[in-house]
C-alpha cells in the first residue's frame, strides 16, 4: 500500500512541539524573533509572507515584516539588513525573493549575518552544508528531510535522484542526502536519458516547475517520490511536477500537491528560527 506523505499533518505535529519550545524560551526571557523583508508588491510573495507570519504567531514567535517599495535601492535594502544584523532581538532574517531587477540578490544574501540567515542561502551556510557541518539549511530541503524522518524513511544506502538543480532545493537537498549517506544523482534540463535515470531512483525528488513531467513509466516500482512542484493547470488547479494519479500506485510513498512539501517548508523555517533562539538563550 502506498503511503501518502502528509505534509500538513506532519507540519502541525512539529508546530505543536515548537510551541512548547517557544514557551520554555519565553520562561527563560527569550522571545524568538523572525524578521522578514519584503520588497515590492508581488502577490505571490505577499501570500508567502502572510503564511509565514501566521505560522509564527501560532507558536509564539515574534515576526516583523519590513516592507520596502518596488523602487527601493540596493543601498536602502542593505541598510535594512545591517540594522537587523545588529538587533539582538532578531534571531532570523529572511529576504523574500524574488527582488526587483535593480537589486542584486546575491549581494543582499551575502550581507545577511550567516548566523541569522534563516533561509540558509549565505555562502558560509552553503559551505557548512557541503563540509558536513551544517548549521542553517534551506527550508524546503530541511522540510523534506523532516517529512521523510517523520514517516520512518531512512535514506542511507538509497540511490536518490533529484530532478532540478536550484540553489533553493536541488543543490542543498543533495548535500543533506549525502550527509545522511544516500548516493545522489542530480539531473536537470540538459540531462540525457532522463527517464532511464529516474527509473534507477529509490528516492526520486522532482523540483522543476514543469507540471506532470514525471509519468508512471519513469518511476521504479516501490520508489519514494517527493514532488516539490507547484503549478496551476488550465482549470486553475494546483498540480505538481509528478503525474500523481498515475505514479502513486507504483510507489512505496509519495507526497501530494498541495499538502506535501509546501507546509513542511514553513515548518522548517520555524524550526530553524526557534533553534537560533535557543542558541541565543544558551549564550
As annotated, the active-site residues are 52, 96, 119
Q: Is 241 helix (H, G, I), strand (E, B) or coil?
A: coil
Residues in the chain: 283
Cell of 143: 522540510
Residue with cell 534563516: 118
Cell of 76: 536602502
CA distance 283 to 281: 5
CA 241 to chain centre: 16
Q: Are 111 and 78 in contact (CB under 8 A)?
A: yes
Alpha-carbon span 159 to 176, nearest angstrom:
13
Give the closest residue to 162 by CA, choosing from 175, 150, 181, 179. 175
Amino acid at each position: 500500500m502506498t503511503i501518502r506523505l502528509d505534509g500538513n499533518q506532519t507540519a502541525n505535529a512539529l508546530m505543536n512541539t515548537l510551541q512548547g519550545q517557544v514557551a520554555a524560551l519565553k520562561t527563560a526571557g527569550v522571545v524568538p524573533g523572525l524578521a522578514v523583508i519584503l520588497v515590492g508588491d508581488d502577490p505571490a510573495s505577499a501570500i508567502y509572507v502572510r503564511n509565514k507570519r501566521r505560522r509564527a504567531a501560532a507558536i509564539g514567535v515574534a515576526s516583523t515584516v519590513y516592507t520596502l517599495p518596488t523602487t527601493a535601492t540596493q543601498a536602502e535594502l542593505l541598510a535594512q539588513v545591517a540594522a537587523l544584523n545588529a538587533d539582538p532581538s532578531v534571531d532570523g532574517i529572511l529576504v523574500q525573493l524574488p527582488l526587483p531587477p535593480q537589486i542584486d540578490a546575491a549581494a543582499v544574501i551575502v550581507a545577511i549575518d550567516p548566523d541569522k540567515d534563516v533561509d540558509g542561502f549565505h555562502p558560509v551556510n552553503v559551505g557548512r552544508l557541503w563540509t558536513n557541518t551544517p548549521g542553517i539549511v534551506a527550508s524546503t530541503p530541511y522540510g523534506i528531510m523532516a517529512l521523510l524522518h517523520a514517516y520512518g524513511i531512512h535514506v542511507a544506502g538509497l540511490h536518490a535522484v533529484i530532478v532540478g538543480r536550484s540553489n533553493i532545493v536541488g543543490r542543498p537537498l543533495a548535500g543533506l542526502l549525502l550527509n545522511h549517506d544516500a548516493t545522489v544523482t542530480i539531473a536537470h534540463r540538459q540531462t540525457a536519458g532522463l527517464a532511464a535515470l529516474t527509473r534507477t531512483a529509490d528516492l526520486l525528488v522532482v523540483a522543476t516547475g514543469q507540471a506532470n513531467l514525471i509519468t508512471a513509466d519513469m518511476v521504479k516500482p516501490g520508489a519514494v517520490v517527493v514532488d516539490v512542484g507547484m503549478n496551476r493547470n488550465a482549470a486553475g488547479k494546483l498540480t505538481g511536477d509528478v503525474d500523481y494519479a498515475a505514479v502513486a500506485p507504483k510507489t512505496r510513498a509519495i507526497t501530494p500537491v498541495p499538502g506535501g512539501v509546501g507546509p513542511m517548508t514553513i515548518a522548517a523555517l520555524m524550526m530553524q528560527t526557534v533553534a537560533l533562539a535557543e542558541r541565543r538563550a544558551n549564550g
